[in-house]
Amino acid sequence: MSKLLKEYVRMRIKGVILFVIFSAIFSVVFYLYQLPLTAVGYGVIICLLVGLIFILWDFRDFIKRHNELERAQKEVSLYLDSLPRGRNLIEEDYRKLVNNLFEDKRASEEEKEERYREMIDYYTLWAHQIKTPIAAMRLILQGEEKEESRELLSELFKIEQYVEMVLCYLRLDSDNSDFVIKEQALDPIIRQAIRRYAPQFIRKKLTVEYEGTDARVITDEKWLLFVLEQVLSNAIKYTNKGRIRVYMMDKILVVEDTGIGIKEEDIPRIFEKGFTGYNGRSYKKATGIGLYLSKRICKKLSHKISVESKLSMGTRIFIDLSSMSLEVE
């Protein structure tokens, strides 16, 4: 209230000054004509009483007007009908100005949305179409037993990963996400991810340890599989020798490797978009997108993903599957 009172006084200060000036003029005139100053005093008191009544009424109207505009601020992003009508020409001019700015902004946003939808449609189409030549190349290379063919198959697998990443990125930002949340057996999902990366394990001569689990979780099979594949991909990428172990701790899925680890100062930022850290700069293999997407997917699935690592001593990724409170961005 004190803030409103100060603002009101600031707005009406010219009128108060004008009243004081007029009172002083009348006092001087009465004094020059040797009229009783009590006449001036009575006039000033009467004017003050009338002015006080007017000020109280005007201040009440000021607060009411302020509250109307404050409510309109919360609704103006949807429509402008909530804006109160101008009480004079200046207020009406401001209202028209706001209306023009709003219409320009809405037209600009609609144009931007249209361009964005066209871009999403194009890249979605591209990502689906590129799968056909990739599949054809894989069939051709699988028929050959040369070392060069195996190398090309490995690189082709990376291309497939990047295409899946593009599709995942597009689907996450689309209005129609295809999440199907239900109770799932966890073991088939884990085995599917391990089988897909089996050639990469063999190529790098890494041992995989997984004994199976009978756990059942509330999740989306396809999206959880994507997260697990990204985690395994990183584990393989930064592990040159040793093993990768997948196991459960209560409702927490753990992927542990004996790789190069993560610098302590990089750990808080590894889920940020585009962040590659020391390892990414040293090995020139990271995109900084995989773990970022994994974090977003886990948030939508109400899972939690975290990391524990020490440089040169390996990394453990924890995917907490116990939460059941679904969150939509």
DSSP 242: S
Residue 287 predicted with pLDDT over 70: no
| pLDDT tens digits, 80-89 | 666 666 667 7
**pLDDT-derived band of residue 254, with 50, 70 and 90 as boundaries?**
very high
309: β partners:
315
Distances (CA, A) of 288 to 242, 269, 277: 24, 10, 9
Per-residue pLDDT tens for 118-151?
Answer: 888 888 888 888 888 888 888 888 877 788 888 8
Question: Is pLDDT at 327 greater than 60 in this prediction?
Answer: no
Please report the DSSP string for 191-239 in residue order.
Answer: HHHHHHTHHHHHHHT-EEE------EEEE-HHHHHHHHHHHHHHHHHT-
What type of residue is 97? L
CA–CA dist 145, 166 (Å, integer):
31
pLDDT, tens digit, 9 for 90 and up, residues 180-219: 888 899 999 999 999 999 988 988 899 999 988 999 999 9
- Start-to-end CA distance of the chain, whole Å, equals 37
pTM above 0.85, yes or no: no
User: Are 304 and 317 within 8 A, CB to CB?
Assistant: no
Give the DSSP H/E element, type plus range, for residue 24: helix 2-32
